A and B are shown apart, each in its own frame.
Chain A
Amino acid sequence: MVKWGEAMPIKYNKSQKLSYRGGRRETETAADERKVVLRAEDICMTFGTIKAVAEVSFELLDGEVLALIGPNGAGKSALLNCINGFYHPQRGRVYFHDKDITHLPPHKRAMLGIGRTFQGLQVYAGMTVVDTIMSGRHFHMKTNPMQCAIYWPWTHKEEVEHREYVEEVIDFLEIEGIRKAPVGELSYGLRKRVDLARALAMEPDTLLLDEPMAGMNLEEKEDLARFILDVNESLGTTIMVVEHDMEVVMDIAQRILAMDWGRLIATGTPAEIKTNDTVVKAYLGVG
């Protein structure tokens, strides 16, 4: 325990904080020179007779924000689940950093560095915000449950280290005020932010966000859009986001994939997608 008035043992240096760690990448690499992080080839996924995802192939480039859009039931979440490992596609392959991960279970993929948030709320309502985010550090902890129960000195040391990272995430997402609050008591927008914080605590290389802004008001959306960009810019995390709100998508995404009826109907920059007839038709239903 540290007594009041004594200098604290952990002296922080602002330049070391998460928000500035890594910093900007040196130069803006042109899109075609960027490394491919994740590659999906010819993914097919059917539920009974319904083709949820049909022959979809795409590449996720290092450090980009890629948005996946499409009307309801277009197969966006199903595609995300195929990448993440919740669903196993009947056909097709998924490569992560050139490694075939098609048959890996979700937790193995998470260990490789694929983090995700969910469309519905999948946070632990009974836990405090800190504990919830701490659970995101699970893969990085080395002590086993027995050691934790006895609470060896190195267990304590490990907890402090992870807590420090969690605090950096809290600082990053500006949720200091609710640190100790039970997640179940928070508003919808804040719970979503806690969900994102937990995914960030994993230190993911690639982040899959499934409708992060659904059900939020304009202010909450603006905040979250800012945080997504901050994560991408400062940590260099590659982000794939499924989103309905076209305004937000146009603002934050560098590239957009559009889906309809399980198929990929267009790929391109926001400007190209805006003027793409097929996409406009799919959205407005003009036949």
Chain B
Amino acid sequence: MRVKGLAAQEVEVGLPSGEINTTPKLLQWARDKWGERVFMRHKDLGLWQAWTFNEVYEEVKYFSLGLMSLGLKRGEVVSIIGENEPENFWAHWAIMAAGGKAVCLYPDVTPPEALYMWDDSDTVYIICEDQEQVDKAIEVEDKLPGLRKIIYWDPRGMWDYTDPLLMSFLEVQELGRSYEADHPNAFEESIAQGKLDDIPIISYSSGTTGAHPKGILMNYANVLDSAHRVIKATKMRPFLQYLSYIAPAWATEQLFGLTMGLMCPYVLNFPEEPETVLPNIREIGAEMVVFSPRQWESLSSMVQARMLDANWIQRSMYKGGMSVGRKVAEGHLSGKPANIGWRILYHAFFYPLVLRPLRDKLGLLKAYLPICGGAAMAPDLFYLFQAMGVKLRNMYGLTEIGLLTVHQGEQYQLETVGQFMEVNPDLALPLEWKTDKDTGELLIRGGTPFLGYHKRPEASAEKIKDGWFSTEDCMAMTEGGEMVYLERLGDMRKLSTGVRFPPQFFETRLRFSPFIKDVMTLGDETKPFVAALINIDPETIGRWVEKRGIVYSTFPDLSQKPQVLELIRGEIEKVNKILPSDSQVKRFANLPKEFDPDEAELTRTRKLRRSFLEDRFGGLIEAIYQQEAEYITEVPVKYRDGRVGKVTTATKIIDLEAPAEVGR
């Protein structure tokens, strides 16, 4: 396959030796080596604008010198908030080169959330993308006494702004140019001062466990070693086309975009707008695609939803292609090739006629390294992509200790998160791991050790037990040495009947349905059975309902339509079939509102915040277990401008065992 190739040796050259022990040194090294080659591209004015290594280096240099001339001292914190754009990356490298610490925020955080992180990290400069982000910074600047400047790179709409702290990206770079005249070599000297154990990044966790995220410290050893592990394990080729889409606020992009991008190196592409990501991936022919499970799920829902609209010929071609593709992929992955007949049918008919065009439409034709990182994902979903020949790989890691496992080679099991990766002996200690006998929790020792949470020594100490780092993830190992992700330690549940069940297992599989956007399973030691709260996907259900001539007004109305409830019931029954009968879902209700990160129901990476949700829908949950058939939910809705409203809906509760009331 293309994954193996001459490039493996070339990559070897790119891996850091002992001297290159910080990211800015890596930037210098890459500039010296590749100079005039194109490194970054950003679509603007409808064209892909390009920057070479030399040009990127200059941009970073003058911005970094500008920060120094403003008075940034080593060890101080600078925050960045904005979409993935070249300036966002330049700012990261410039902060690191000046010896500062970078904190990156998701562009959609609310001002109070941003304030918490800015305040907790003692941010001295905030770098914003545009007016939207500057408004957030200005709203809370009074509460940040240490704040010295708010720097923005897109000045649009701010012609009237007179805030004394405001300064543009270009102005900072101008300052840098005049600073260079007085302090020649200041940039290079500052880079040379960097050490392997400097802390260049504080990454705020998405905070599934509490309302406030914790700042996780990452040093260069941590970042460089993880990047090195992945490049070696996945056999990346230099100058692969990569589309930077996941936010650098998530540590995954810190490693993939900001570090491996220099180390491998990539051609880093930035989408024109967040909404044009899919066409942009197709235009550049992305070779590596790193998405969270949510993003892969939405891609697959899109395919499935379009198929619902297709005519019967197209639909049966698609179904045939998918089932043959799945057989061939299963054979390939297990190392026991499928029957020759299936393979001929696949290669001569379904692949060229159905699956390849579909893969092309999704922009994944050249993607030889598609990666899914973050949480667990349903195997069905993996097969959807594998059938198209997209060799989707799972990856597992923690911000605290770096990336640990990935699907390696050509044969791997889709239920797992892959094998442990090798560490670089120059950067890290040998990696040891074991699973706790009682709980099944994965414990890690060595590698690049956990450095602690910013300003939280107690929370940091809790994570280390007898010298082992506690991942709080329950894992098991297969015979082939691959790890199976079971559940978060705190989420493995026991019913009052004594039956143990993994709620996420059910949720990830149910989310594969194009009609279901989110699921929360219920059931604990006080509850006798498993139940589920469903968040329907208004888009696909809306279309499904329209086709059947059913009229609806709002989301709550749509969610309670008897036909919709019946449809969801069918979807749940499908998943119930794979589970033992005592851990099956017995009752469910369609929630009359969508989960929203702005209301703290989801984290920014769209993970459920269970305890909060259990509280918010407490009445409904009680009604489910009281065997009631209906409950009047009253849900407070918080708008962006601060107003609070209320949605009242009679929510129906459905029994899975009861016979269907409405035929389809």
Which residues of A come within 8 Å of B, CB atoms?
A: 4-8, 10-12, 14-15, 17, 19-20, 23-24, 163-164, 167-168, 170-171, 174, 176-177, 179, 226, 230, 233-234
Instruction: Give chain A residues whose Cβ lies under 8 Å from the Cβ of B578.
Output: none
| B46 interfacial contact with A, CB 8 Å | yes
On whether the beta carbons of B49 and A171 are closer than 8 Å, the reply is no
| B662 interfacial contact with A, CB 8 Å | no
Complex-state Cα separation, A161 to B154, whole angstroms: 24
A24 to chain B, nearest CB (A): 4
Complex-state Cα separation, A170 to B273, whole angstroms: 12
Instruction: Give chain B residues whose Cβ lies under 8 Å from the Cβ of A176.
Output: 46, 272-273, 275-276
On whether the beta carbons of B155 and A20 are closer than 8 Å, the reply is yes
B345 to chain A, nearest CB (A): 35
Complex-state Cα separation, A179 to B37, whole angstroms: 30
On whether the beta carbons of B273 and A12 are closer than 8 Å, the reply is no
- Per-residue CB contact flags for chain B residues 38-60 toward chain A (1 = under 8 Å, else 0) read 10000011111110100000000
Instruction: Give chain A residues whose Cβ lies under 8 Å from the Cβ of B272.
Output: 176
On whether the beta carbons of A8 and B155 are closer than 8 Å, the reply is no
On whether the beta carbons of A8 and B46 are closer than 8 Å, the reply is no
Given contacts A23-B159, A167-B45, A171-B45, contact A177 B50 (CB under 8 A): no
B46 touches which of A7, A24, A174, A179 (Cβ 8 Å): A179
Q: How many residues of B contact A (CB 8 A)?
A: 24
A19 touches which of B46, B156, B275 (Cβ 8 Å): B156
On whether the beta carbons of A8 and B276 are closer than 8 Å, the reply is no
On whether the beta carbons of A171 and B44 are closer than 8 Å, the reply is yes
Instruction: Give chain A residues whose Cβ lies under 8 Å from the Cβ of B492.
Output: none
Instruction: Give chain B residues whose Cβ lies under 8 Å from the Cβ of A4.
Output: 284
| B157 interfacial contact with A, CB 8 Å | yes
| B365 interfacial contact with A, CB 8 Å | no
Interface centre among B52, B155, B156, B273 (most CB of A within 10 A): B156
| B19 interfacial contact with A, CB 8 Å | no
Q: Which residue of A lies closest to B154 (CB)?
A: A14
Complex-state Cα separation, A233 to B284, whole angstroms: 36
Instruction: Give chain A residues whose Cβ lies under 8 Å from the Cβ of B45.
Output: 10, 12, 17, 164, 167-168, 170-171
On whether the beta carbons of B157 and A226 are closer than 8 Å, the reply is yes
On whether the beta carbons of A8 and B50 are closer than 8 Å, the reply is yes
Q: Other than the known A10-B45, A170-B45, what 5 A-B pairs have Cβ atoms closer than 8 Å?
A: A20-B155, A176-B276, A177-B276, A230-B156, A233-B159
Complex-state Cα separation, A10 to B47, whole angstroms: 9
Q: Which residue of B lies closest to A234 (CB)?
A: B159
B90 to chain A, nearest CB (A): 13
Complex-state Cα separation, A268 to B517, whole angstroms: 52
Complex-state Cα separation, A167 to B272, whole angstroms: 12
Closest CB pairs A-B (n = 6):
A167-B45, A177-B275, A24-B159, A167-B46, A19-B156, A7-B50
On whether the beta carbons of B160 and A7 are closer than 8 Å, the reply is no
Instruction: Give chain B residues whose Cβ lies under 8 Å from the Cβ of A24.
Output: 159-160
Q: List 17 A-B pairs, Cβ < 8 Å.
A: A5-B267, A7-B38, A7-B52, A8-B50, A10-B47, A10-B49, A12-B49, A23-B159, A24-B159, A24-B160, A167-B46, A167-B47, A174-B273, A176-B46, A177-B273, A177-B275, A230-B156
Instruction: Give chain B residues whose Cβ lies under 8 Å from the Cβ of A170.
Output: 45-46
Instruction: Give chain B residues whose Cβ lies under 8 Å from the Cβ of A23.
Output: 159
Complex-state Cα separation, A174 to B132, whole angstroms: 14
Complex-state Cα separation, A6 to B38, whole angstroms: 7
Complex-state Cα separation, A98 to B186, whole angstroms: 59
Instruction: Give chain B residues whose Cβ lies under 8 Å from the Cβ of A10.
Output: 45, 47, 49
In the complex, chain B residues 608-635 whose Cβ is within 8 Å of any chain A Cβ: none
Instruction: Give chain B residues whose Cβ lies under 8 Å from the Cβ of A14.
Output: 154, 170
Complex-state Cα separation, A11 to B284, whole angstroms: 19
A15 touches which of B170, B273, B275, B276 (Cβ 8 Å): B170
A8 touches which of B37, B47, B267 (Cβ 8 Å): B47
In the complex, chain B residues 154-181 whose Cβ is within 8 Å of any chain A Cβ: 154-157, 159-160, 170
Instruction: Give chain A residues whose Cβ lies under 8 Å from the Cβ of B37.
Output: 5
Q: Which residue of A lies closest to B272 (CB)?
A: A176
On whether the beta carbons of B44 and A12 are closer than 8 Å, the reply is yes
Complex-state Cα separation, A7 to B51, whole angstroms: 7
Complex-state Cα separation, A234 to B38, whole angstroms: 33
In the complex, chain B residues 265-293 whose Cβ is within 8 Å of any chain A Cβ: 267, 272-273, 275-276, 284
Instruction: Give chain B residues whose Cβ lies under 8 Å from the Cβ of A168.
Output: 45
Complex-state Cα separation, A36 to B108, whole angstroms: 44
Instruction: Give chain A residues whose Cβ lies under 8 Å from the Cβ of B157.
Output: 226, 230, 233
Instruction: Give chain A residues whose Cβ lies under 8 Å from the Cβ of B273.
Output: 174, 176-177
Complex-state Cα separation, A12 to B309, whole angstroms: 42
Complex-state Cα separation, A167 to B154, whole angstroms: 17
Q: Which residue of B lies closest to A13 (CB)?
A: B170
Interface centre among B50, B52, B170 (most CB of A within 10 A): B50
Interface centre among A4, A20, A24 (most CB of B within 10 A): A4
B38 touches which of A5, A11, A171, A174 (Cβ 8 Å): A5
Instruction: Give chain A residues whose Cβ lies under 8 Å from the Cβ of B48.
Output: 8
Q: Which residue of A lies closest to B239 (CB)?
A: A5
Instruction: Give chain B residues whose Cβ lies under 8 Å from the Cβ of A226.
Output: 157
Instruction: Give chain B residues whose Cβ lies under 8 Å from the Cβ of A19.
Output: 156
In the complex, chain B residues 118-161 whose Cβ is within 8 Å of any chain A Cβ: 154-157, 159-160
B122 to chain A, nearest CB (A): 31
A21 to chain B, nearest CB (A): 11
Q: Which residue of B lies closest to A164 (CB)?
A: B45
Complex-state Cα separation, A118 to B46, whole angstroms: 27
B416 to chain A, nearest CB (A): 36
On whether the beta carbons of A8 and B49 are closer than 8 Å, the reply is yes
Q: Which residue of B lies closest to A23 (CB)?
A: B159
Complex-state Cα separation, A5 to B276, whole angstroms: 21
Instruction: Give chain B residues whose Cβ lies under 8 Å from the Cβ of A164.
Output: 45
Complex-state Cα separation, A23 to B156, whole angstroms: 10
A162 to chain B, nearest CB (A): 13
Complex-state Cα separation, A226 to B159, whole angstroms: 13
Q: Which residue of A lies closest to B285 (CB)?
A: A4
Complex-state Cα separation, A108 to B49, whole angstroms: 38
Complex-state Cα separation, A15 to B239, whole angstroms: 30
On whether the beta carbons of B156 and A20 are closer than 8 Å, the reply is yes
Q: Which residue of B lies closest to A7 (CB)?
A: B50
Q: Which residue of A lies closest to B48 (CB)?
A: A8
Complex-state Cα separation, A24 to B155, whole angstroms: 12
A27 to chain B, nearest CB (A): 13
B191 to chain A, nearest CB (A): 26
B153 to chain A, nearest CB (A): 8
Instruction: Give chain A residues whose Cβ lies under 8 Å from the Cβ of B267.
Output: 5
Interface centre among B46, B49, B155 (most CB of A within 10 A): B46
Instruction: Give chain B residues whose Cβ lies under 8 Å from the Cβ of A15.
Output: 170
Instruction: Give chain A residues whose Cβ lies under 8 Å from the Cβ of B159.
Output: 23-24, 233-234
Complex-state Cα separation, A11 to B52, whole angstroms: 12
In the complex, chain B residues 10-60 whose Cβ is within 8 Å of any chain A Cβ: 37-38, 44-50, 52
Instruction: Give chain A residues whose Cβ lies under 8 Å from the Cβ of B154.
Output: 14
Q: Which residue of A lies closest to B277 (CB)?
A: A177
Complex-state Cα separation, A177 to B45, whole angstroms: 12
Instruction: Give chain A residues whose Cβ lies under 8 Å from the Cβ of B276.
Output: 176-177
Q: Which residue of B lies closest to A233 (CB)?
A: B159
On whether the beta carbons of A233 and B160 are closer than 8 Å, the reply is yes
B256 to chain A, nearest CB (A): 21
A3 to chain B, nearest CB (A): 10
Instruction: Give chain B residues whose Cβ lies under 8 Å from the Cβ of A11.
Output: 49
Complex-state Cα separation, A247 to B182, whole angstroms: 54
B86 to chain A, nearest CB (A): 11
Complex-state Cα separation, A15 to B156, whole angstroms: 10
Interface centre among A6, A7, A12, A234 (most CB of B within 10 A): A7
Interface centre among B45, B155, B272, B275 (most CB of A within 10 A): B45
